[in-house]
Structure formats: C-alpha cells, structure tokens
Amino acid sequence: MKTGMKGLRRVSAVAITAGAVLTAGAFTASAQAATTATPTIAAKGGFVMNNGTGKSLFTKAADTRRSTGSTTKIMTARVVLAQPNLNLDAKVTVQKAYSDYIVDNNWASSAKLIVGDKVTVRQLLYGLMLPSGCDAAYALADKFGTGSTRAARVKSFIGKMNTTAKSLGLTNTHFDSFDGIGHGANYSTPRDLTKLASSAMKYSTFRTVVKTKSTKQKVTTKSGGYRYMSWTNTNNLLGSYSGTIGVKTGSGPEAKYCLVFAATRNGKTMIGTVLASSSVDNRTADAKKIMDYGFKQ
C-alpha cells in the first residue's frame, strides 16, 4: 500500500511538473508574440525589407504614391555615381544661380555654398546628402546634365533620374526636380524609395557619405585661397540607433516628414522608408520601430 502511495505521488509530481512546463511554454510563446506584434507608426506610408534577401518585413501603404521631399536626392546622388569615368575630384565652380535658387524657394535647405568657390564632385555629394543642400543638388544637375544652357542641362539630368527609375523597376516613381522641390509630378512610394536606396548603397562612395555624421571640407575660394565648409547630417538615427548606416531625410509642405534608413546588426541589414510622418521626432521613432520589428523576424 505504501509503495502504491509513493507511486501515486511520483505520478502526481510528474503531472504537475509537466503542467508547469506547458504553462511556462504558453507564457513564453505569448511574450514572444507580444514583442513581435506589428508596430503602429505615425507615418502615412512605411516599408522595411531585409536588404540581403529582399524580403518585405513591414508594409503600410507601401505602394501609395506620395511626395518625397529631399529623399529625392538619393536619386540625384545615384545618377551622379553611375556616370561613366566619374572623377570625384573634378572641381565645380559655384554659380550665382545656385544660391539664388535657395533664396527663391522657401523650403530649400542649403549647403551654404559660396559663389565663386571651387568644390569637388565628392564634396558636393557631402553637401547634398548631409545638410541636404538644394544648392549642391543644382550644382550636380548642372554639371552632369547635357545641353548648351543651364535649363537644358537641368532638364537632361532630371531625364536621367527618370530613366534610372525605370531601369530599376520603380514603376510608382517620377521626378520633376533634382532636389524634391517638385512641380506637381515628383513622387514615389515607400517600397520604390527603399529599392532605390538599396541600389545606391551598392556604391562605396554613397555608403561612405550617408553614414557620416559630420564633415569639414576644405574648398578653394574664388581668389585662390581656401576655406572650410562644415556640414552635419540631418539623419537623427546616426548616433541614436545602433548599427545605422544611412540614408536620407526629407520634408516639405506636401511631403511632411520622410526618412529613408538602413542599419546593420549581427550581419543582417534592414533598409526601409517612412513617408508623410507627422514630425522630425516621429519619423525617427517610426524608423526605429519598424527596424526593430524587422530585426526580430
């Protein structure tokens, strides 16, 4: 009889232990489900993918066309870097038209280029991507477009932007400006902009520029002397989100607050876009949320 009681106790203990394991397992599964719940973002559109596999990990109105603001400048840089026999150290003289453009457009952000200075193409790329200089964008469009007049060269350059978009399969993308200050037909989608950024990140110069928090560049003045230009990156993810490697901010009255972003952790790279977020802080928070979500997948 005693032996029977011991056996019963052992069976009961096993049953209780098994039940505890099952209960703990259920709690663990529940906790994991909670931590990987699809995030809610302030932006009207969002997308993130694994850059290595191309797998989509988060979508919100990912194929809805929206104004892109200065994230347009990713394509400006991409067109420049794809030029045959590109000399990044070639010098460009800053024209009055570039600074006048800043004055004439209220939403134009500036690299504060000084008329008569000679800056290299590489320096213009820093001025384009860090402080989001519309004057730098204009200089690059003027330099790398073709035509006998500045207007013709700019038109030609924007044409190259659209040709490149087609070649990359960006079917919901169109540009009518070199910097994102559009004229009614400058748009893209979170998915398309992410694909564009992924393509641009294949260029080592682009990767170097967009992960730079700040830079001090020595440029030649009109008189033959030199001055230093200091530029700080507008991408708040740099320094605030571990593993951030780029990419580009954007804003505007129609675009609201946009961000194309990328980060690498443990050999995995997330790349994505948020469009039409409600503030600078929210676009940064949105990007962090959906990258966190992507890294957990």
Distance, in Å, from the CA atom of 98 to the CA atom of 4, rounded to the nearest integer, reads: 95
Which two structure tokens, joined as six digits, stand for 263? 């980060």
The residues annotated as belonging to the active site are: 70, 73, 132
3-state SS class at 38: coil
Question: Can you spell out the DSSP letters for 73-125?
Answer: HHHHHHHHHTSTT--TT-EEEPPHHHHHHHHH-TT-------TT-EEEHHHHH
In terms of Cβ atoms closer than 10 Å to its own Cβ (0-12, 13-18, 19+), residue 187 is buried
Q: Which helix (H) or strand (E) holds 232?
A: strand 226-232
Contact 197, 74 (CB under 8 A): yes
